[in-house]
Amino acid sequence: MSLLTNKEVEMDLKGRDFLALVDYAPEEIKYLIDLAVELKKKQKAGEIHHPLKGKTLGMIFEKSSTRTRISFEVGMYQLGGQGLFLSRNDLQLGRGETIWDTAKTLSRYLDGIMIRTFAHRNVIDLARGATVPVINGLTDLSHPCQAMADYMTVLEHKGKLEGLKISFIGDGNNMAHSLMMGAAKLGMHFSIAAPEGYDPDPEVVQLSRENAELTGGSVKICRDPREAAENADILYTDVWASMGFETEQEARMRAFNGYQVNEELAKYAKPDYLFMHCLPAHRGEEVSESVIDGKHSVIYDEAENRLHAQKAIMAAIM
């Protein structure tokens, strides 16, 4: 028996898109996390496992990336397939071709499409036009692949997910949205402290609370970082000015003054708390050097698990 699901139960997710965690049932999310753990064990043991032999994933990047590009490309290789990097300038999208026509055309060549873009609408439109599975590699609204890697990491370190408290300190951004929904689906308690004007999307909050009611989880929005961090099992933060918001850097620095995750704030969390960050980090801004490099930090485990979590997603839906 797995920590999360009965591994003897195979879920048929073939052909599904992976756009946001709200689209997946708790049992399906747990299944994918378990599959990620299994694929990681196979890779560490040197086992050859090629369920996607002969298949190709097209990877569209409108935002630059380190972890997303490398983890998807390596993941496809380890699964026996091939990842094809496509920047906006490589496609007719850059010259005005519609997303619909792009989706229809790429579906004739590829077995799956991953897109890392700005507007979430682009992912929705791509999935509507495509006849192959589409994976959300990041939008301004959500970052579901990162959240899957994060909860896989928590499971590895804590041995469970249900009932744990995760506290997000900072901007109510795409990362906060996906972590919030994931916590709600998994029966966890999510708390976010953000300054006024930087709260998470109200619709995401409402949907998360509705899901949390079904799993025994909870969602709390507050202003005081100490209140959010109280008895936390996980302290999580992200940059204050995400990609696309660089022009707001100075204003955000002022707004988020007092929201740094540091040793003083960490005293409010549980003694064995985990510190998490999706990276890249601005050391000395949203997190102190002593915390991000400290004994509680699992940021590189998170980064590695992007590979394994995404392999699970690709293997299941492609």
How many helices, marked H, and strands, marked E, lie in the chain? 12, 9
Q: Is 68 annotated as a binding residue?
A: yes
Residues ≥6 apart with Cβ < 8 Å to 241: 248, 249, 252
Tokens of 135: 């994976």
- Give the three-class secondary structure for 6: coil
- Give catalytic status of residue 128 as yes or no: no
Catalytic status, residue 226: no
Q: 208 labelled as ligand-binding?
A: no
Q: What is the DSSP string of 228-268?
A: HHTT-SEEEE--SS-TT-GGGHHHHHHHTTT--B-HHHHTT
88 catalytically annotated? no
Q: Which of 16, 120, 143, 177 is the catalytic position?
A: 143
Q: Is 111 a known active-site residue? A: no
In angstroms, the Cα distances linking 243 to 43, 64, 70, 230, 305 are 32, 9, 18, 29, 22
Known binding residue 243? Answer is yes
191 labelled ligand-binding: no
Q: 278 a known binding residue?
A: yes
Helix axes 120-129, 99-107, angle to 10 degrees: 50
The strands making up 134-138's β-sheet, listed across from edge to edge, are 82-87, 56-61, 112-116, 134-138
Q: Which of 146, 150, 252, 310 is catalytic?
A: 146
Q: Is 174 annotated as a binding residue?
A: yes
Which residue is catalytic, options 16, 120, 177, 306?
A: 306
DSSP conformational letter for 159: S
**Is 102 annotated as ligand-binding?**
no
131 touches 318 (CB < 8 A): no
Is 120 annotated for ligand binding?
Answer: no
65 labeled binding residue: yes
Report whether 66 belongs to an annotated binding site.
Answer: yes
- Among 43, 278, 308, 310, which one carries the catalytic annotation? 278
Is 254 annotated for ligand binding?
no
For residue 116, say whether it is annotated as part of any ligand binding site. Answer: yes
* Residue 306 bears catalytic tag: yes
| Catalytic one of 34, 111, 171, 238 | 238
- 252 assigned to active site: no
Q: Active-site residue among 116, 252, 296, 308?
A: 116
Has 71 been labeled as part of a binding site?
Answer: no
Question: Hey, which residues are catalytic here?
Answer: 116, 143, 146, 238, 278, 306
Q: Residues marked as binding for L-ornithine?
A: 174, 238, 242-243
Q: Residues marked as binding for carbamoyl phosphate?
A: 65-68, 92, 116, 143-146, 278-279, 306
Q: Residues marked as binding?
A: 65-68, 92, 116, 143-146, 174, 238, 242-243, 278-279, 306
